[in-house]
């Protein structure tokens, strides 16, 4: 009987420990380079981990490379992706609670009089998007006339050169980059074509982290700390991109 009690106690202890992050381990995550929302995530997510006593490092990559690094287990996951990323990448586990969002928007030159009210309107125009970014990949699925670029800045360059009619990116990303380039007075933007929550993804090798991080995201979301942290991060990134 004593042996049985000891065995059950050991199993319960082992189970509890399996739900905790590895002690003294520094987790390595990937992000997508050059995107404003990802830069905000690079500020917000480390603080969420810090709250539970865990340190993380984030390395920016091109979108497809970030996905490869996370799915191969070279990184412990990605900091910020939309819902469908998890459906396409079964080795990455979605933390259930989103902690930020993006708006898919089309930017065009005022003089071109491009009219985009819905995503169906996109089919009429030549477009540019950033390689490996899921929300713009999804909204242009099946389109044949799309330039694929490596940064928002380069998308604005092909827009100015007349190679495309509109570019697709997150609203805040496009607004800050156009302002930094001094283009805000000649650029117009559509209404949001999609509003998508953003989730943290963790490689399945670290699945024990998922409920722990989700619990902390829910805590800071419910007590208002997440909103304050996001506001501070946005202000920092906006200042850096002037």
Please compute, for residue 163, the number of CA atoms within 13 A of its CA located in the half-sphere on the CB side. Answer: 12
pLDDT at residue 14 in the model: 36
- What's the rounded mean pLDDT across residues 89-110? 97
pLDDT at 29 over 90: yes
Higher pLDDT, 144 or 195: 195
Average pLDDT over residues 179-206: 96
Rounded average pLDDT over 205-223 = 97
In CATH terms, 102-195 corresponds, of 3.40.190.10, 2.30.40.10, 1.10.3470.10, 3.30.70.270, to 3.40.190.10
What is the mean pLDDT of the segment spanning 185-213? 97
If residue 31 lies in a helix (H) or strand (E), which one and from where to where? strand 26-32
For the chain, give every residue range classified as CATH 3.40.190.10: 23-100+197-240, 102-195
pLDDT-based confidence at residue 104 (cuts at 50, 70, 90): very high
Q: Does the structure show a pLDDT above 50 at 72? A: yes
| Residue 45 structure tokens | 């997510």
Q: Give me the percent of the chain exceeding a pLDDT of 90.
A: 88
User: Mean pLDDT, to the nearest integer, of 17-34?
Assistant: 78
Question: Which residues are CB-neighbours of 142 under 8 A, at least 6 positions away?
Answer: none
- The pLDDT, as a whole number, for residue 5 is 35
pLDDT at 242: 84
Q: Which CATH class is domain 23-100+197-240?
A: alpha beta
Model pLDDT, residue 17:
38
Tokens at 152, concatenated: 């928002």
Segment 136-141 mean pLDDT:
96
The stretch 123-145 carries a mean pLDDT of 95
- As a whole number of angstroms, the distance between CA 114 and CA 43 comes to 35
Query: Is residue 25 very low, low, confident or very high in pLDDT (cuts 50, 70, 90)?
Result: confident
37 phi/psi in degrees, rounded to 5:
-65, -35
What is residue 239's DSSP assignment? H
């Amino acid at each position: 009987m004593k042996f049985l009690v000891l065995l059950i106690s050991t199993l319960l202890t082992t189970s509890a420990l399996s739900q905790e992050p590895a002690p003294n381990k520094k987790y390595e995550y990937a992000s997508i380079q050059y995107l404003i929302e990802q830069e905000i995530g690079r500020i917000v997510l480390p603080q969420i981990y810090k709250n539970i006593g865990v340190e993380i490092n984030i390395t920016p990559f091109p979108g497809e490379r970030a996905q490869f690094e996370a799915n191969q287990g070279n990184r412990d996951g990605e900091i910020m992706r939309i819902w469908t990323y998890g459906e396409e990448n079964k080795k990455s586990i979605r933390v259930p609670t989103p902690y930020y969002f993006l708006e898919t928007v089309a930017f065009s030159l005022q003089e071109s009089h491009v009219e985009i009210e819905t995503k169906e309107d996109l089919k009429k125009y030549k477009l540019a998007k950033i390689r490996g970014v899921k929300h713009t990949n999804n909204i242009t699925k099946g389109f044949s006339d799309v330039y694929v670029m490596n940064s928002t800045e380069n998308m604005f360059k092909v827009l100015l050169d007349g190679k495309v009619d509109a570019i697709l990116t997150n609203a805040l990303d496009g607004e800050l980059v156009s302002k930094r380039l001094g283009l805000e007075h000649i650029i117009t933007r559509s209404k949001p074509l999609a509003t998508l929550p953003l989730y943290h993804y963790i490689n399945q090798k670290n699945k024990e982290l998922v409920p722990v991080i989700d619990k902390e995201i829910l805590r800071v979301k419910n007590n208002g700390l997440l909103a304050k942290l996001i506001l501070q991060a946005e202000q920092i990134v906006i200042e850096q991109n002037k």
